[in-house]
Amino acid sequence: MKSFISEAKINNYLKEGENCSSEQINVILQKASEKKGLTISEVAILMQNRSPETDQLILNAATEVKKSIYGNRIVLFAPLYIGNLCINDCLYCGFRISNRECTRKTLDDREIQAEVRSLINSGHKRLIVVYGEHPKYSSEFIKKTVSDVYALKTEKGEIRRVNINAAPFEEDGFATIKSAGIGTYQIFQETYHRPTYQKLHPRGPKSDFNWRLHGLDRAMKAGIDDVGIGALLGLYDWKFELLALLAHSEHLEHEFGVGPHTISFPRIEPAFGSEFSRQPPYQLDDETFKIFVALLRLAVPYTGLILTAREKLKLRNELIPLGVSQIDAGSSIGVGEYSTHDEEAYKRSQFVLGDTRTLDDVIYELVRQKLIPSFCTGCYRVGRTGKEFMKLSKPGEIKTFCQANAILTFGEYITDFASQKTKEAGMELIKEELASIKNPELKQKVEESLQHIQIGKRDIYI
C-alpha cells in the first residue's frame, strides 16, 4: 500500500499560497459563498494570507454556507465506550498499553444493557460506539455488541443509529461489522504527517501509517457507505493537517465517487497518565481553531462536521454557526460511567471532557440560540446513504428531509424527556420551524405527525 498523502505536495501548496493578491482572495471567497467548495490550493491561499479583515470574511462566508445548506439544525449523539483494552502505545492517549495508571475495563452484556438503558432514558437515539484496538475487540465482537445495542428496548424508546469508532480491519472484517446495520465507520489518522505519526505511535498495529490510512478504503470496498475521517489537532501544524484532510477527502471521492460522510477535528486534551497530552507541541488557539472550522466548511460544504464535547460551552457556541452540523451531548467517556456515575471513571477515560452538561441542558442552550436539535435517523432507514445521500445533498434537496425529521425527533424528545423550561422553549421553536416550511403538503404532514407523537406514536420520519 502506498500513501496517497504527499507531504511534498502539501508543503508546495503552502509555499505557492503565500503572498497572493486581495483580488485572488476575493475570487476564492466568492466561489466559496456560492457553495462550490474549494480546492486544496485555494484553501492554502486563504490560510497563508490571513489578516483580521480576511479572517472575518472567511468566518462570514462559512456562516452563510452553513446556514444555506444545513439551516439551523444540529444533530445530537453520544459516545459509548465499550472497552479500553489497547495494544497500541500512542503517546497522547490514556488507553495506551504502557499507561499503568489506566484502569482497564470491557463491558459485559449486562453492563452494555445498563449503559444503553441510561442513554435511552436520557433521550438519546444516536450513538458512536468506541473500542480500543485489541484482539478481544474483533469484528465479531463489534457485531455482537452493536446488535445488543439495537436489541435493547425500553418504555422510553431505543437506539436507532449506531456509528463506530474502532480499529481498521481487513475487508471481510468490515463486512461482518456492516451486517450488524451500522451507520458511519470512523477511523482517524490522528496526524497525516508521517514523521510525527511514527514518533507518536512507536508500537502496535497503529504504528503502520499506510495500513491505517487505507482502512476506510477497505471499509468502502466491503460495502460500508458512510465513513468518517479526522485529525487530532495539536500533534502537528494545523495547516498541514487541514490540507491533508482535504486530500483524504479527494482520494475517497476519486476512488469511490463519494467523499467522507463526516469529518472530525478534535483538539488534544489532557489524558490521565499521559504527560505528552498536557503539553502538545502544536496547540491550536481558539481564534485559529475557528478559522480551521470555517475553512473546512468552505472546502467541503456538503460534508458533516463534528464538534466534540472536548470543547467548553462558550467556544462550542461560537463554533457551531461556522460550519458544525453534529455535536455530542450529555457525554461520559469513562467505560461504564453512564450507568454507574463512578467517581473513579476518569481512570478508565481516554481524555478529559470540556463540556459535561446534561443532554437537556445542551438542548435548552441550542433552543435559546434558535438551533433545532435533531435525533434524525431517517436517511439511514430508507437508504439515503453514500452516493444516494450526496445526490440529494449537493443540489440542496436533503435540507427538506432534514428540517422535517429534526422537527419530528425534537417533538419526541420534548414529549418524552424535556424539562419544563426546555419544553416551553422547544414548543415555541417548533412553531417557528413549522411556519418556515414553504411546501404546504409537507407542512401538513409534519403537523399531523406531531399530533400522532402527542398520542403515543414514535419513530415517524420522512
How does pLDDT run across 423-441, given as a tens digit for each residue?
A: 999 999 999 999 999 999 9
Distance of CA 325 to the CA centre of its chain: 8
Structural contact between residues 58 and 46, judged by C-beta atoms closer than 8 angstroms: yes
Q: What is the pTM of this model?
A: 0.95
Q: Give percent of the chain above pLDDT 90.
A: 88
pLDDT, one tens digit per residue, over 290-326 is: 999 999 999 999 999 999 999 999 999 999 999 999 9
Other beta carbons within 10 angstroms of residue 68's beta carbon come to: 14
Q: Dump pLDDT digits (tens) for 335-383.
A: 999 999 988 898 999 999 999 999 999 999 999 999 999 998 877 777 7
- Per-residue pLDDT tens digits for 47-72: 999 999 999 999 999 999 999 888 89
State residue 82 phi and psi, 5-degree precision: -85, -40
- Across the chain, which distance is largest between two alpha carbons, in Å? 63
Exposed e or buried b per residue across 117-133, where buried means at least 16 C-beta atoms within 10 angstroms of its C-beta: bbbbebbbbbbbbbbbb
Residue-wise pLDDT tens digits, 93-124: 999 999 999 999 999 999 999 999 999 999 99
| Burial class (CB within 10 angstroms; exposed 0-12, middle 13-18, buried 19+) of 63 | middle
Cα separation, 63 vs 83, in Å, equals: 38
Residues of the chain with CATH 3.20.20.70: 72-374
For domain 72-374, which CATH number applies: 3.50.50.60, 1.50.10.20, 3.60.21.10, 3.20.20.70?
3.20.20.70
Q: What pLDDT, on the 0 to 100 scale, is given for residue 395?
A: 64
pLDDT value, residue 284: 95
